[in-house]
Structure 1
Amino acid sequence: MQRAGFSFLICPDPEIIRERVERLLADCGQSFAREVFWGDEEIGAPFWSALTVASLFAGRRAVVMRRAEALPAEFWPKLAPALKGFNDAVWPFFCLEGPLDRKGGPKLPKTLADQLYFKVAQKRKWVFVSPGLTRRDMGPRLSDWAARRGLALGPGVAEALAGALPPSLAHADNELAKLELALGDRTSLELADLGLLSHHEGMDGFAFLDALAGGRDPTLVWREIFDKELAGEEMIFPFIGLLLYEARMMWRLAVGEADDVRLPPQVRQKKEAMARRLGAAGLTRIFEAAFAAEAGIKTGARKPDQAMEFLTAELFRLFGGQMRASPRVSP
């Protein structure tokens, strides 16, 4: 594989940046020593020496500039002479780890975007841009994780896990490691095991139900979930999976078949109380509403935001609320 002359990696998740650097270095088939510098620290002679000074005795080196978005504006024009021509001994990586812009594109310092070397990098596809770990990525990552460890995922587990894991690669890996440790010699992961996952801000099926049960305006609840987490069907399906996971758990709690469900006592009490309130008929209506919303998207009868609105309205009625005549808020 012919490697890049220099690389720009743009992603708000530092673990994905680190993983990408390692993959590029591994794929090129050559050995590189790593020298790492940080853009939010003073950039002095050691960096410029690593970038430009060749040595007869040292091997190839990857010069990695982390948090490059914090570099001063005058840095980028100074970089131009060092990036002229191809240096077989040095592979520079510039990692911009700030948030992307509102449209999901790279947020670049103007003095970088104007540089000829950056335009060359774009033309030659030496620029990697990622929004970070998205719900769409979770499915393939979970499949790879389960396959590498010889794990079978029980019914509904993949969807629920995709919705429950935090949208940070390092944090998601920590949660998966926690599940592995808890499984011991077992080779299957069931819905009951997901109670071990740490709570995180994001898509929370029970919090969604609890907000509706508490009488909150369903339009506001729907909008809060949609604005915060959902944007298209690739996001809604994991959310529906997480909602079904909560319904299945409450069903087991309601019928006394949840001895192996691991939950903090306070959380378990709240879910048991809701399960008693809903009963078998109410829990069945959650399943029906979730399946109807999912089918509406898959058949094209509803757009994702319409399906979410329908689901919210149905659940609000389930908890005894009266919908206003026109609850819709356009995206």
Structure 2
Amino acid sequence: MNRPKYIFLVCPDPELIKSHVDERLKSSGQDGWEIKTFWGDDDDPLPQIFWTDLTIKSLFPQPKALIVRRAHALKAEHWDKLDAGVKGLGSDIYPIFCLEGQWKTKKAPIPATLARRGLFKKAKEAGWIWESQGLDARSLGDFVRTWAQKNNMAFEPGADRALAQALPADAVAARLELDKIELAAGDERMVKREHVGLIAQTGEMAFFDLMDALSRPGAEAAVWKRVIDDHAKAAKDQMLFNLIGFLASQARMFGMILGGGKVAGNPYVIKKKTPVARQLGQQGVARMIDLALEAEYSIKSGERKYDEVLDSLIAGLIDLFQPKARMRR
């Protein structure tokens, strides 16, 4: 067998976990994996189907990868059963345990309930453990090079280093930023230094990404996190008035796109915004302006408190940018 019997992936970054799982399965020497995912922090993290797959040999030849995400949340009784369950594994079953707790020191955060058990000691002896603290200034360079190789991208001199320095140290956010770069590079597949300017500022969601997230179902949590973070800031650092101004400029851009006029700006941004403008239509753009004006009036007149105005504006924008949400009402 060209792979470990089972493996522990110790990393707090879910995107890096996902990528490493994919790499492990590709390099396993087996094809056609059936992937089953379980969650260690669920009420019933390892249901009966998990134990059936783990311990009973299937009549079918398709191999199964049993991926336990957030396995650091499993209790002692689960590890006790797993300790016994992994001893008789067949070559068609590949358990992958993802320990996704935060690293508080440079030492990997292995739960005490796991560290003293035989299956972990065996994995440690055999080298069946992969550890990563997540992306940092050192590893982002490798992250960028791996992305470039997979996507057949080239760099003009110095662009790779500039890109690695600008990317956020979060694999999900970094991949979203690299999607921008790939689109901006176009058919030339050449990343230029000027493209690095498209990268959003790290630390918080930039307005460009905020607007992008508003129209993506499932991204509401990231939007509301940005809002909650803003509530905790000092008044001089809060975003409402800047957001109102940004909405006005976006509305002008959308209006020009819909009117067929020549739109000044970065070609990537215009390409990204064109389908959004068409989705909104003239009525949607008008509603966007109304929301901005209502927010400005409410805060300047003292009609409502700052937090209430921002919450109402964001809720209105989500409602506007997600037509399915409007249809359900």
What's the TM-score, normalizing by structure 2? Answer: 0.57
The letter for the 1-side match of 2:10 is: I
Unaligned runs of 5+ residues in structure 1 are 203-258, 265-331
Aligned to 1:315: none
Unaligned runs of 5+ residues in structure 2 are 205-263, 270-329
Aligned residues: CA RMSD: 2.5
| Match status 1:52 vs 2:55 | yes
The letter for the 2-side match of 1:48 is: W
State the alpha-carbon separation in 1 of the partners of residues 196 and 147 from structure 2: 16
Deviations 1:2-29 (A, max 9, x none): 2111111100111111111111111121
Alpha-carbon shift at residue 99 of structure 1 (Å) = 1.1
| Match status 1:14 vs 2:14 | yes
Aligned to 1:39: 40
Contact preservation (8 Å) 1:12, 1:100: yes
State the alpha-carbon separation in 1 of the partners of residues 180 and 118 from structure 2: 47
Contact preservation (8 Å) 1:76, 1:112: yes
Alpha-carbon shift at residue 58 of structure 1 (Å) = 5.1
Q: Please give the secondary structure, in 2, of the residue aligned with 1:65.
A: strand
Contact preservation (8 Å) 1:40, 1:67: yes
Alpha-carbon shift at residue 165 of structure 1 (Å) = 0.3
The letter for the 1-side match of 2:134 is: G
State the alpha-carbon separation in 2 of the partners of residues 10 and 134 from structure 1: 16
**Cα distance, 1:148–1:127 mapped onto 2, change above 3 Å:** closer
Alpha-carbon shift at residue 198 of structure 1 (Å) = 1.3
Which among 113, 116, 131 is matched to residue 115 of structure 2?
113
The letter for the 2-side match of 1:22 is: D
**Percent identity for Structure 1 against Structure 2:** 38
Contact preservation (8 Å) 1:11, 1:97: yes
Q: Please give the secondary structure, in 2, of the residue aligned with 1:123.
A: helix
Aligned to 1:190: 192
Contact preservation (8 Å) 1:9, 1:128: yes
Q: Please give the secondary structure, in 1, of the residue aligned with 2:88.
A: coil
Alpha-carbon shift at residue 59 of structure 1 (Å) = 2.2
Which among 91, 95, 99 is matched to residue 92 of structure 1?
95
Moved over 6 A (4+): 259-264
Within-5 A mapping of 1:189-208: 189-201=191-203
Within-5 A mapping of 1:241-256: none
Deviations 1:128-184 (A, max 9, x none): 111112222222332343345454423432222111101122211110111111232
The letter for the 1-side match of 2:59 is: L
What's the TM-score, normalizing by structure 1? Answer: 0.57
Aligned to 1:122: 124
State the alpha-carbon separation in 1 of the partners of residues 163 and 6 from structure 2: 37
Q: Please give the secondary structure, in 1, of the residue aligned with 2:30.
A: coil
Aligned to 1:228: none
| Match status 1:169 vs 2:171 | yes
| Match status 1:4 vs 2:34 | no
Contact preservation (8 Å) 2:75, 2:113: no
State the alpha-carbon separation in 1 of the partners of residues 150 and 60 from structure 2: 39
Alpha-carbon shift at residue 262 of structure 1 (Å) = 9.1
Aligned to 2:236: none
Contact preservation (8 Å) 1:196, 1:262: no
The letter for the 2-side match of 1:2 is: N
Contact preservation (8 Å) 1:77, 1:111: no
Aligned to 1:272: none
